[in-house]
Structure 1
Amino acid sequence: MERKEITDLSVESQFEICAIECIGLELIIVCVYRPPSGDVSMYLSMLNNLLNLNLIKNSNVIIIGDINIDLLTKCNYSKDLLNTLKQSGFRQLINQPTRITNISKTCIDHAYSNIIKSDVKNVSCCDLNLSDHLCINVIVDIHNKYLQQNSHVLKRTFSEQRKQEFCQCLDTYQWDEILKKTSCPSKAMELVMNVVKNKFETYFPLKKQLLKKTGHKWVNDSLRKLRVKISQLKNYITTHSDSVESRTHLQQLENEYWIKLRQVRSNFINGCISNCKDDMGRSMWRVISTETCKNNKGNSAIDVFVSRSAGDCVGTRAAAAAALLNRYYIETNVNNAVPCTSTALTYLTQYLPATCPPFKFEPFGLDEMIFACKKIKRKESKDINDMSTRLIDYLPPTVISLLLTLFNECVCQGTYPSVLKKIKVQPIYKGKGEMHLPKHYRPISLIPAASMIS
Structure 2
Amino acid sequence: MACVEFEHLIVVSIYRPPCCTYDTFENIMEKVFAKLNKQNKSVVICGDFNINLLEASSINIKFRSLFKSYGLFNLFIEPTRISQSSSTCIDNIFTNVKPLHKCIIQKLSSDHCGQVVSLPYVHKKQVDEKVVSVPVNARRLEKFRSNIVKKLPSLSYQNDPNFLYGTLFKLICNEFNNTFTSKTFSLNSRKSFNEWATVGVHKSRHRLYDLYHERSYNHSVEFREYVKKIFKNI
TM-score class normalised by the smaller sequence: 0.5 to 0.7
Identity of aligned residues (%): 24
Q: Do residues 99 (structure 1) and 77 (structure 2) align?
A: no
Aligned counterpart, 1:109? 91
Q: Output one character per residue of 1:347-376: Cα deviation in whole Å (capped at 9) or x when no partner.
A: xxxxxxxxxxxxxxxxxxxxxxxxxxxxxx
Name the CA distance, whole Å, in 2 between partners of 1:286 and 1:82. 55
Matches within 5 A, 1:27-38: 27-38=9-20
Deviations 1:257-278 (A, max 9, x none): xxxxxxxxxxxx9xx87x9453
CA deviations 1:100-143 (Å, max 9, x no partner) are 2233221000211123xxx3222221126231111111211131
Residues 277/76 of structure 1: CA separation in 2 closer, same or farther (3 Å cut) = same
Q: Which has the higher strand share?
A: 2
Amino acid at match of 1:122: H
Counting only pairs closer than 5 Å after superposition, residues 227-266 of structure 1 correspond to structure 2 as: none
Please say if 1:138 is aligned against 2:110.
no
- For residue 93 of structure 2, give the secondary structure of its aligned residue in structure 1: strand
- Once the two structures are superposed, the pairs formed by residues 386-425 of structure 1 within 5 Å of their partners are none
- Aligned with residue 121 of structure 1, among 94, 100, 115: 100
CA distance in 1, matches of 2:46, 2:179: 49
Distance 1:70 1:109 in 2: 8
Q: Match for 1:139: what amino acid?
A: S
CA contact (8 A) 1:94 1:111 kept: yes
Deviation digits for residues 18-71 of structure 1 (CA, Å, limit 9, x no counterpart):
000113xx2000000012222222112211221122556622110000111101
Q: Which amino acid aligns with 1:289?
A: S
Please say if residues 96 and 107 of structure 1, whose CA atoms lie closer than 8 Å, have aligned partners that are also in contact: yes
Matched with 1:289 is: 182
Partner of 2:64: 82
Deviation, structure 1 residue 297: 1.8
Select the structure that is richer in helix.
1
CA contact (8 A) 1:51 1:57 kept: no
Q: Offset of 1:288 from its aligned partner?
A: 5.7
- Does structure 2 retain, via aligned residues, the 8 Å contact 1:52–1:88? no
Compared CA separation, residues 80 and 284, structure 1 to 2 (3 A): farther
Secondary structure of 2:186's partner? Answer: coil
Residues 285/46 of structure 1: CA separation in 2 closer, same or farther (3 Å cut): farther
Change (3 A) 1:39 1:56: farther
Cα distance in 1 between the residues matched to 2:64 and 2:176: 49
Distance 1:283 1:77, change over 3 A: farther
- In structure 2, the CA distance between the partners of 1:81 and 1:285, relative to structure 1 (3 Å rule), is farther
Q: Tell me if the contact between 1:50 and 1:56 (Cα under 8 Å) persists in the aligned partners.
A: no
Q: Please give the alpha-carbon distance, in whole angstroms, between the structure 1 residues aligned to 2:127 and 2:115.
A: 33
Q: Is the 8 A contact 1:99 1:106 kept in 2?
A: yes
Distance 1:276 1:121, change over 3 A: same
Give, in whole Å, the separation in 1 of the partners of 2:25 and 2:186: 41
Q: Distance in 2 between matches of 1:138 and 1:56?
A: 25
- Secondary structure at 2:182's aligned position in 1? helix
RMSD, aligned α-carbons: 3.5
Post-superposition CA distance 1:129-173 (Å, at most 9, x none): 2311111112111312xx32258xxxxxxxxxxxxxxxxxxxxxx
Which amino acid is 1:129 matched to? L
Q: Which gives a bigger RCO, structure 1 or 2 (Cα 8 Å, sep 6+)?
A: 2
After superposing on structure 2, the runs of 4+ consecutive aligned residues of structure 1 that deviate more than 6 Å are none
Letter in 1 for 2:78: Q
SS in 2 for 1:37: coil
Q: Is the 8 A contact 2:47 2:91 kept in 1?
A: yes
Q: Which runs of 5+ in 2 are unaligned?
A: 145-174, 190-195, 197-234
Separation of aligned partners in 1, 2:108 and 2:177: 71
Once residues 107 and 34 of structure 1 are traced to their aligned partners in structure 2, the CA distance between those partners, rounded to angstroms, is 14
**Aligned in 2, Cα 1:29/1:140: closer, same or farther, shift over 3 Å?**
same
Equivalent residue for 1:148, pick from 125, 150, 154: 125
Question: 3-state DSSP class of the match of 1:36?
Answer: coil
SS in 2 for 1:52: helix
Cα-to-partner distance string for 1:273-317 (whole Å, 9 max, x where unaligned): 7x9453345985797635xxxx25248xxx9xxxxxxxxxxxxxx
